[in-house]
Structure 1
Amino acid sequence: MKNIVVTGGSGKAGRAVCRYLVENGYEVLNLDMQPSSDPICPFYRVDLNDRGQVMDALQWTGGKDHPFRKFSTPDAVVHLAAVPAPDLMPEDATFRNNMMSTYNVFDAALRVGVRRIVWASSETTLGLPFSPDNPPAYAPIDEDHPMRPESAYSLSKDLGEEMARQMQRWNPDSTFIGLRLSNVMEPADYDRFATWQDTPHFREWNLWGYIDARDCAQAVEKALHADLVGADHFIIANSDTVMETRSADLMREVFPGVPIRGSLEGRQTLLSIEKARRVLGYEPQHDWKPEKD
């Protein structure tokens, strides 16, 4: 599995994924509306809401010397393109874009013979933004937590997971792996973390979680090779929180009535990654504050 098409390869997670895959020997093609600021792989401008353009991109058969010629049949598609968060566009525009682009990518990939699709779902499907008035059902949150989309964005991700399940059912030899990504951070973002330490309520909305873009890329590669046929989903976060305060203390202060399942050690993530560890072999490598309390 060496020829990988990445949609949204110019975005925050996409840049890290493209770089990680290229540096690990993959041939990568970035499908996006804008070129990447880190042009490590070929770029093809595609409007993913246009089904014909998506089919064209996934069936590219350029001349023998064309840089895209290896992608006449990709080995896998990594679908990261989307309006990346709530409140960036009107709700209907976000929903329409994310649903149609996901349908077009899933459908076109299956039609050209791709049997492994790794795609970006979201932590927001689990009920974000959390607050004392809208607490999680329990913590740490895992994949069994109720799905509670609270915006058109999170609803599009929730329905994307259902779309993956049904399309996989239609194509029983295929694999769809949805990564419920936490808030993506690059190393340059870590300077901001110091400003959050005195106000735990500022980041309560996702239980103080995050995912380093480089670990997001690692999770994608793990998903590309996981021994799995079917449709499944995994929370992908870092092993710690964005706070210096111990996680148990954060929960006692902000969510005192929320049941804690198991023990909380130090600054342990409250977005459980145990399933990703067990099934995908995922293990974060880039915690923002490497020294553990």
Structure 2
Amino acid sequence: MFIGVTGSQGKLGRATVARLRDEGHEVIGFDLGGPAGPGFTRIDLGDYGQVLDAFLGVTARHDGLDAVVHLAAIPVNGIVSDAATFHNNVTASFNVLFAAHRAGIRTVVTASSITATGFPFEVAPPRLPLDESHSAAFNTYALGKVVEEAMAAQLVGWDAAASITALRFTNVVDESEYATFERAGEPGYRRDLLGSWIDARDGAQAVALALAHARPGFEIYHVAHPQSGNTDPSRVLAERWFPGVPVADDLGEHEALFSTRKLQEDLGFAPEHDWR
């Protein structure tokens, strides 16, 4: 396929572009800044005209896309004001999803987030491991992701052949950041992430699988390593962090409390990198 990737210069974006190219796809990156060359075009996702124009074709780059992977966003609260985080991210996502619809691009994979499930979990989750059926937002970044998921679920109904997959990524870690796992035995380490994490390269695998298995309709998947980022058993973590919350009888010894069972079962996700 010929695939456009927004946020191509970010941590997950770089890994995704590399993965898709390794699989034989042609890829063009879209971002606010990046290297000049045939594989990249600079666009401002806040400008709908630029987005639609770039999706329809860019002289000397491409004359149409088969799929879009939307990864671009202000990644956390605090970089800009809270309202600006929401406005920027939701507007950019609307522009991407609506431009894809108008351009006849029927396969879209978009980045959602663990924050859309209740991060930082000061309010306890309803059950563990937490699956895709639950959503809750406690900051404007998370609220934007909940809104974007709802928007995608509606827009996909406008075209019977359209496929939109929302991937709720947890904390993305690259090769240079594995030293942080030296804290894996600390009692509160990664509590606000339900003990979860994902290597950027395995996050890219999830994107590739979502594209390969795209089918009409809207789907949400959690994307994390199936094993936690902690040394203590997961049942111990659950009782320490969220006493009284129901825990599945079949919870694995170190299974992440942010469930990726659906991703593994539906798409065959099998991560290749582990901090251990």
Fold in common (TM above 0.5): yes
CA 205–263 in structure 1, closer or farther in 2 if over 3 Å, else same: same
CA 191–176 in structure 1, closer or farther in 2 if over 3 Å, else same: same
Structure 2 residue 102 is the aligned partner of structure 1 residue 111: yes
Give the stretch that moved more between structures: 39-48 or 17-26. Answer: 39-48
Matched letter for residue 25 of structure 1? G
The 5 A counterparts of 1:261-280 are 261-280=248-267
CA contact (8 A) 2:165 2:214 kept: no
Structure 2 residue 208 is the aligned partner of structure 1 residue 221: yes
Q: C-alpha offsets along residues 170-192 of structure 1, whole Å, 9 cap, x if unaligned? A: 12210000000111011211111
SS of 2:127's equivalent in the other structure is coil
> Could you say which residue in structure 1 is the equivalent of 2:127?
138
Cα displacement (A) at 1:256: 1.9
The 5 A counterparts of 1:12-161 are 12-35=11-34, 42-62=39-59, 66=60, 68=61, 71-131=62-122, 134-145=123-134, 147-161=135-149
CA contact (8 A) 1:18 1:40 kept: no
Q: Distance in 2 between matches of 1:55 and 1:197?
A: 48
CA 206–40 in structure 1, closer or farther in 2 if over 3 Å, else same: farther
CA contact (8 A) 2:152 2:164 kept: yes
Cα displacement (A) at 1:41: 6.8
CA contact (8 A) 1:19 1:40 kept: no
CA contact (8 A) 1:22 1:41 kept: no
CA contact (8 A) 2:189 2:230 kept: no
SS of 1:201's equivalent in the other structure is coil
> Runs of 4+ in structure 1 displaced over 4 angstroms?
none
Matched letter for residue 275 of structure 1? K
Aligned residues: 276
Q: C-alpha offsets along residues 221-252 of structure 1, whole Å, 9 cap, x if unaligned? A: 11111152101110011011111111111112
CA 175–250 in structure 1, closer or farther in 2 if over 3 Å, else same: same
Cα displacement (A) at 1:76: 0.2
CA 76–278 in structure 1, closer or farther in 2 if over 3 Å, else same: same
Q: C-alpha offsets along residues 65-105 of structure 1, whole Å, 9 cap, x if unaligned? A: x3x1xx31111000000111222221110001011100111
Q: Distance in 2 between matches of 1:275 and 1:156?
A: 23
Q: Distance in 1 between matches of 2:225 and 2:153?
A: 26
CA contact (8 A) 1:22 1:40 kept: no
Matched letter for residue 257 of structure 1? G
> Could you say which residue in structure 1 is the equivalent of 2:274?
287
CA contact (8 A) 1:18 1:41 kept: no
CA 75–255 in structure 1, closer or farther in 2 if over 3 Å, else same: same
Q: Distance in 1 between matches of 2:64 and 2:269?
A: 27
Cα displacement (A) at 1:265: 2.1
Query: What percent of counterpart residues are identical?
Result: 38
Give the stretch that moved more between structures: 71-80 or 224-233. Answer: 224-233
What is the Cα-based RMSD across aligned positions, in Å? 1.5
Cα displacement (A) at 1:115: 0.3
Matched letter for residue 126 of structure 2? A
Matched letter for residue 44 of structure 1? T
Q: Identify unmatched segments of 5+ residues in structure 2.
A: none
Cα displacement (A) at 1:130: 1.4
Structure 2 residue 184 is the aligned partner of structure 1 residue 188: no
CA contact (8 A) 2:196 2:257 kept: yes
SS of 2:188's equivalent in the other structure is helix
Alignment TM-score, normalising by the size of structure 1:
0.90
Alignment TM-score, normalising by the size of structure 2:
0.96
Give the stretch that moved more between structures: 239-248 or 116-125. Answer: 239-248
Q: Distance in 1 between matches of 2:118 and 2:176?
A: 28
CA 174–190 in structure 1, closer or farther in 2 if over 3 Å, else same: same
CA contact (8 A) 1:30 1:41 kept: no
Matched letter for residue 215 of structure 2? L
> Could you say which residue in structure 1 is the equivalent of 2:223?
236
Matched letter for residue 82 of structure 1? A
SS of 2:98's equivalent in the other structure is helix
CA 48–120 in structure 1, closer or farther in 2 if over 3 Å, else same: same
